[in-house]
Structure 1
Amino acid sequence: MAVSEEGALLQFVPFSSALDGSFWHALTKNKLEVYRLDEAPRSVHGFYSNGYAEGLPSSMNLDMTAFDDDAVIPALCFPSRGTLIPFNTLDAFKTSDKKQLLQQEAKKMWNDIQSGAALRQPDLLSRFLLLCFADLKKYHYYYWFAFPALSLPEKCNVLETKTLKQYYGSEKILQLQQAHDTFCKDKVPPAFVILEKSSTISFHALSEFEKLQNDQEASVMLGFSDPSTMEAYAGWPLRNLLALVTVIWAGLSELTVLCYRNRVKDGRRECSHSLVLRVRLSQSDPPTVFHVTTACPRAVGWEKNEAQRLVPRMVDLSSSMDPSRLAESAIDLNLKLMRWRLLPSLDLEQISNTRCLLLGAGTLGCNVARSLLNSEGISMTIPMPGHPVSGDAEGQVREDVRRLEELVERHDVVFLLLDTREGRWLPTLLAASMHKIVINAALGFDTFMVMRHGLKSDPSSPVAMETEPMMRMGEGIHGSRLGCYFCNDVVAPGDSTRDRTLDQQCTVSRPGMSMLVSALAVELLISLLQHPDSLYFDSSLSQAWVKIKLSLTHDARFDDELEGCQGS
């Protein structure tokens, strides 16, 4: 208990904004479909509680229902009316007149107080202002809350502070709880009057305060649902409630306030920690009479950030709202679950750090890209043998060669997914010279081929010295000895599309074939990356991939092609 003849200055615990993730999803939808370029203020609502656990901030909560006019707030919570201003640019958000906007919102409360509407409907005293800018490309949201509070009365002192347990005994606290439940049977109001008379306690509407004050045999307290959890300080709603008292009951200089807190502890409802304040209001002599034309008092209430500075806040929700980030997260989860039981030794870091270059963005290219999810489109032409270049285009060809060379240099793996044989020739040479992994895939109508190119090693290297005895014993071709797509081809690369009909120029294949082939190509790369010998693993593994084919009819030409590839 704190007692002082003059009293200490009454202080208040401000609200802290608490925005649920669903609020930003709803805001994004409204911005795209409803608000668009309209920056007009929009009505929203939030809610707070007087049952927060000890140590938690008094929060103003907003979720996806903030935009619904008929939304139902959670049980034992109290509504707060808000105004949302959705700015179109970050600059407009930063340069807006914050003082004027806050004062406009405070004036709404001031008018409700002067008209008596707030006396009949106390939730009109709880308002907030929300300025925001939504960067929907990056899913960055800039926002700033204000909880307007009228600076009236200008000075207010606390003469005495007690807990409800100190003010009442345990028996009376139980009686007070029962009276509160009876009063709040239909609706829990944010402010009320408590009357104690003839050893009975009853709750009444705020509008009955003046009538009850005139009862000489009764003790009257002004009460409100307090969101504060601090031991000695009342919550923010008391500020505007006292402003109402100063205007409506101008002659009142002292009153008792119950800061009602309704906490559930150990499965039981507890309110003994509520505060009872004896408050002295600073009143003019004679008391000031407020008219409709009286100017609105100065307002305060901009929310501070975590560092207690008056600046806006920003939240980055790209990880939970950006479709590409969500897809990456789902893939990452799938890969990590593989390591639990199926593939404990799977090296995810090696996979994620591998940079792949896909040459060809047609049927195969798109499906391989979908499996890899590393996609960035580059439009260019690959020079091909047998396709002559006119003098005017020679400069562009040189530029394409230079650019292709740079792309191969920057990547670890090259996928050859082009339509023609000759389109694969120059990338094969560049990849071989730069010692890059090459995965080659090709489609027919009911046949396909998936293979990898070999990587030559230094004859004096440990890898080459270890494989030489194995080669002599006929145990298979080592990875360092594998060739490329063209190694056993007796036909030089040329213009394979000349004098061919449209169906022969295009890759006509069975539905679903491209998805199967692209999946095998990606799996071949993953197997290569995870093998202990990495780039130089035994060719018998790659031959197993090469021999796979799907065929409805026997195609001798395809068998011949496979035989040639196995020797590469």
Structure 2
Amino acid sequence: MPIVQFAPFSSLIQPSFWHELTSLKVDVLRLSDEALPISGSYSVGRSVTDRESGKEIALGCNLSVGSESFDKGYKVTAGSVPASGTFKNYNTIEEFKAADKTALFNQEAVKIWDHILATRDTALLNHFLLITYADLKKYKYYYWFAFPAFVSKPAWEIAEEGWKDAIDEFSAEDLSSIQEQIRSHPSPLPFFLVRNDAKISPVEDYSTFFESTPPSSRTIAFIDPSANPTNPGWPLRNLLAYLRALYPETTSTVRVLCWRDTETHSSSWRSRFGVLEMGGVPSDEKVRPSAVGWEKNPQGKLGPRVADLAPMMDPTRHAIVLSVRKHRRLNYLRRLANQAVDLNLKLMRWRILPSLDLEKISTTKCLLLGAGTLGCYVARTLMGWGVRTITLADSAHVSFSNPVRQPLFEFEDCLDGGKPKAQCAAARLKKIYPGINASGHMLSIPMPGHPVPSASVAQTKAEVEKLEALIAEHDVVFLLMDSRESRWLPTVIAAAKGKIVINAALGFDTFLVMRHGPRGSSVRPNGARLGCYYCNDIVAPSDSLTDRTLDQMCTVTRPGLASIASSTAVELLASLLQHPDGLHAAAPPPNQDPSSHHQDSGGSVLGLVPHQLRGYLAQFRNLHIVGAAYDRCTGCSETVLQTYEKEGFEMMLKAFNDPKYLPTLTGLDKLYDEGEAALESVDWDEEDGDADF
């Protein structure tokens, strides 16, 4: 006889579910990956009629989850059946991919089986597992459902008559009676028993309900989510396993009613009936059988799915058509802007700063590496100072979380996957002031600790060459990126090319703004060269981006901090440009009176030109710090710069691929060894007895 084929469950996720998951992740779960209970539901199978052929086409065997699935008091709609599940959300995509799927699946299968044997309850027969990773920055949700179902050995076979319409086995009156009892039952009946008198009862009542009923008059029924005429739905698998585990003596042959009706029919019934038999010698019914049930992806392979909600954020857009009169008026306003844009700067020279050199600032070409929160604020402040050439470089696209924190973006910039940040920011600068020479470049900066596959070497070389060209074309380089290692390559290139480098980095309520000391100069009070971003480190830059949680992927700061740091960075540049020594301006001693900021005190017309400013927003305090260059620095030491000038890209490639290369090149590895040797050579004085702490 033919082996019974079952229609597997397919997940059906309501869009509201992702909204609820977002709230749950941000407000409740945060960094927790604790498993939580979840609920879903399914109803009888449905089909549609093909208009051309007139044939019935079965729809999916769906189990649905929605925004209410996380509620403890989850209730299903009339005619639906509840299903319990286990939900687990991962903090990173790496954790999601690396999760032990087999162990998770088996854990749920054991839970179902143990529940059957311990309670004889059918509540977990439709149990499911859902694992997710929510990329809230891009509104992408990775998910994978599993519907554990036990494998029968030997397999179930369908009798020679096969599956037939229920009306061929039951009278219309009996089917109508069954329907009314299902409707009037105080709770949903996913599985139920049917006697020859058309009375029904929950499957848990098997022993008592069928006590005086012959096997030929016993029918096992279930709400069937499948509409396939020959393939009953997935719930039947675990129902049969349940019966074999608890009632093996009377269930080697089972009469099955696949209930697929939602209302009483006067002429036809959709429900199906069949007689199933074990295809061989039954195995030990008390031993848990193996289980299957991971959902396949749209390509028909075992793998997760992705829900991309970004397009749903795109409202209907209308083209804005300007009349000729409006165009003329716009050109007129642009001319007015050209005259008025520098008014504030020019007013400074009337009484306050007659010697302020505005041309020196306006002709300075600035390259902003990073077009995020820092980049947007830096660009706006540079415009305020009259800088006319601003170039931005970034590899990201505008996301929905950006516009409220990054003032060069609007909601419309996030749609259709988001515009490239650098180009979008440059276009917005031109919209703010058409006279600006602003451009944006999509550029990914190669980084130490991020190996370059052989197939990507050519692309990486092109990116390095583009970065070198951009730095060469500009006077000032702002390092405004999110990670430590992304600042290394431009630090090396800019130091070798003698460019001004302004670095800005954020903590939660702290910031660092610093200028890098130029090569071959003595600009400290004691004659030493000023250090760069890496001079205080004894650890080479490496991968800090992989396997990060949401709060680590985002720069989590107090909202006002970025604008404070950005403005400070631009003001530091303005002071430096106004200093008579420019790039080689000496840093004031840390203990210098802040009120002594005039040119005759070592400052510029705008005040002091510090090396480093460390701000502490919690105390509303700024500290001036002076740091010397380090001869083993991985960013600006002569060893690194000369190697770069000699080997070029080959040196860079070594730094990208080999985490030990920079420590070896600069001698940091020997420093580690010297430190270990020093510790071992110390004659520690150990006293007898217990120490008094």
TM range, smaller chain:
0.5 to 0.7
State whether residues 5 and 231 of structure 2, in contact with CA within 8 Å, keep that contact through their aligned partners in structure 1.
Answer: yes
Once the two structures are superposed, the pairs formed by residues 417-428 of structure 1 within 5 Å of their partners are none
> Separation in 2 of the partners of 1:32 and 1:358?
44
State whether residues 9 and 62 of structure 2, in contact with CA within 8 Å, keep that contact through their aligned partners in structure 1.
Answer: yes
> Separation in 2 of the partners of 1:191 and 1:358?
74
Segments of structure 1 that go 5 or more residues without pairing to the other structure are 1-6, 339-344, 366-380, 418-426, 432-568
Counterpart residue number, 1:479: none
Counterpart residue number, 1:253: 252
Q: 2:47 is paired with a residue of what secondary structure? A: coil
Q: Within the alignment, does 1:278 sit opposite 2:275 as a pair?
A: yes
Q: 1:100 to 1:398 in 2, by over 3 A?
A: same
State whether residues 36 and 87 of structure 2, in contact with CA within 8 Å, keep that contact through their aligned partners in structure 1.
Answer: yes
Q: Which structure carries more relative contact order (alpha carbon 8 Å, separation 6+)? A: 1
> Separation in 2 of the partners of 1:107 and 1:429?
67
> Separation in 1 of the partners of 2:267 and 2:100?
44
> How many residues are matched?
363
Which TM-score applies when normalising by structure 1? 0.56
Could you tell me how far 1:277 is from its partner in structure 2? 1.4
Counterpart residue number, 2:661: none
Counterpart residue number, 1:513: none
Q: Within the alignment, does 1:77 sit opposite 2:80 as a pair?
A: yes
> Separation in 1 of the partners of 2:199 and 2:240?
22
Could you tell me how far 1:33 is from its partner in structure 2? 0.6
Counterpart residue number, 1:103: 106
Once the two structures are superposed, the pairs formed by residues 29-428 of structure 1 within 5 Å of their partners are 29-54=23-48, 55-118=58-121, 122-159=122-159, 160-165=161-166, 167-168=168-169, 172-185=171-184, 186-196=186-196, 200-211=197-208, 212=210, 214-216=212-214, 219-251=217-249, 252-263=251-262, 272-282=269-279, 284=281, 288=284, 290=286, 294=287, 296-320=288-312, 329=315, 332=317, 335=318, 386=349, 394=360, 398-399=364-365, 404-405=388-389, 414=430
Q: 2:73 is paired with a residue of what secondary structure? A: coil
Counterpart residue number, 1:26: 20
Q: 1:222 is paired with a residue of what secondary structure? A: strand
Amino acid at match of 2:205: E
Q: 1:175 to 1:346 in 2, by over 3 A?
A: farther
> Separation in 1 of the partners of 2:102 and 2:143?
16
More strand by share: 1
State whether residues 359 and 414 of structure 1, in contact with CA within 8 Å, keep that contact through their aligned partners in structure 2.
Answer: no
Q: 1:217 to 1:17 in 2, by over 3 A?
A: closer
Once the two structures are superposed, the pairs formed by residues 483-494 of structure 1 within 5 Å of their partners are none
Q: 2:297 is paired with a residue of what secondary structure? A: coil
Q: 1:283 to 1:411 in 2, by over 3 A?
A: closer
Counterpart residue number, 1:372: none
State whether residues 123 and 189 of structure 1, in contact with CA within 8 Å, keep that contact through their aligned partners in structure 2.
Answer: no
Amino acid at match of 1:190: P
Q: 1:430 to 1:153 in 2, by over 3 A?
A: closer
Could you tell me how far 1:270 is from its partner in structure 2? 7.8
Counterpart residue number, 1:12: 6
> Separation in 2 of the partners of 1:149 and 1:383?
78
> Separation in 2 of the partners of 1:158 and 1:90?
44
Which TM-score applies when normalising by structure 2? 0.47
Any idea what the Cα deviations from partners look like across 1:419-458, whole Å, max 9, x if unmatched?
Answer: xxxxxxxx76989xxxxxxxxxxxxxxxxxxxxxxxxxxx
> Separation in 2 of the partners of 1:166 and 1:430?
79
Q: 1:17 to 1:270 in 2, by over 3 A?
A: farther
> Separation in 2 of the partners of 1:101 and 1:359?
67
> Separation in 1 of the partners of 2:32 and 2:166?
53
Q: 2:123 is paired with a residue of what secondary structure? A: helix
Q: 1:430 to 1:246 in 2, by over 3 A?
A: closer
> Separation in 2 of the partners of 1:153 and 1:17?
27
Segments of structure 2 that go 5 or more residues without pairing to the other structure are 49-57, 367-382, 393-422, 439-693
State whether residues 40 and 65 of structure 2, in contact with CA within 8 Å, keep that contact through their aligned partners in structure 1.
Answer: yes
Q: 1:429 to 1:205 in 2, by over 3 A?
A: closer
Any idea what the Cα deviations from partners look like across 1:341-386, whole Å, max 9, x if unmatched?
Answer: xxxx779xx99xx9xx99999xx99xxxxxxxxxxxxxxx989995
Q: 1:394 to 1:152 in 2, by over 3 A?
A: same
State whether residues 304 and 311 of structure 1, in contact with CA within 8 Å, keep that contact through their aligned partners in structure 2.
Answer: yes
Could you tell me how far 1:102 is from its partner in structure 2? 0.5
Identical-pair percentage:
29
Any idea what the Cα deviations from partners look like across 1:95-128, whole Å, max 9, x if unmatched?
Answer: 101111001011111011111332xxx2320011
State whether residues 86 and 132 of structure 1, in contact with CA within 8 Å, keep that contact through their aligned partners in structure 2.
Answer: yes
Q: 1:319 to 1:201 in 2, by over 3 A?
A: same
Q: 1:123 to 1:256 in 2, by over 3 A?
A: same
Q: 2:198 is paired with a residue of what secondary structure? A: strand
Q: 2:248 is paired with a residue of what secondary structure? A: coil
Could you tell me how far 1:14 is from its partner in structure 2? 0.6
Q: 1:301 to 1:217 in 2, by over 3 A?
A: closer
Could you tell me how far 1:289 is from its partner in structure 2? 5.2
Could you tell me how far 1:312 is from its partner in structure 2? 0.6
Amino acid at match of 2:168: Y
> Separation in 2 of the partners of 1:244 and 1:8?
22
Counterpart residue number, 2:579: none
Q: 2:174 is paired with a residue of what secondary structure? A: helix
> Separation in 2 of the partners of 1:26 and 1:358?
46
> Separation in 1 of the partners of 2:82 and 2:89?
22
Q: 1:309 to 1:16 in 2, by over 3 A?
A: same
Q: 1:129 is paired with a residue of what secondary structure? A: strand
Q: 1:123 is paired with a residue of what secondary structure? A: coil
Could you tell me how far 1:394 is from its partner in structure 2? 4.6
Counterpart residue number, 1:378: none
State whether residues 388 and 435 of structure 2, in contact with CA within 8 Å, keep that contact through their aligned partners in structure 1.
Answer: no
> Separation in 1 of the partners of 2:345 and 2:304?
51
Q: 1:189 to 1:430 in 2, by over 3 A?
A: closer
Amino acid at match of 1:105: E
State whether residues 182 and 189 of structure 2, in contact with CA within 8 Å, keep that contact through their aligned partners in structure 1.
Answer: no
Q: 1:284 to 1:80 in 2, by over 3 A?
A: same
Q: 1:415 to 1:202 in 2, by over 3 A?
A: closer
Amino acid at match of 1:208: D
Q: 1:240 to 1:153 in 2, by over 3 A?
A: farther
State whether residues 139 and 318 of structure 1, in contact with CA within 8 Å, keep that contact through their aligned partners in structure 2.
Answer: yes
Could you tell me how far 1:247 is from its partner in structure 2? 0.5
Q: 1:430 to 1:63 in 2, by over 3 A?
A: closer
> Separation in 2 of the partners of 1:413 and 1:215?
83
Amino acid at match of 1:317: L
State whether residues 192 and 220 of structure 2, in contact with CA within 8 Å, keep that contact through their aligned partners in structure 1.
Answer: yes
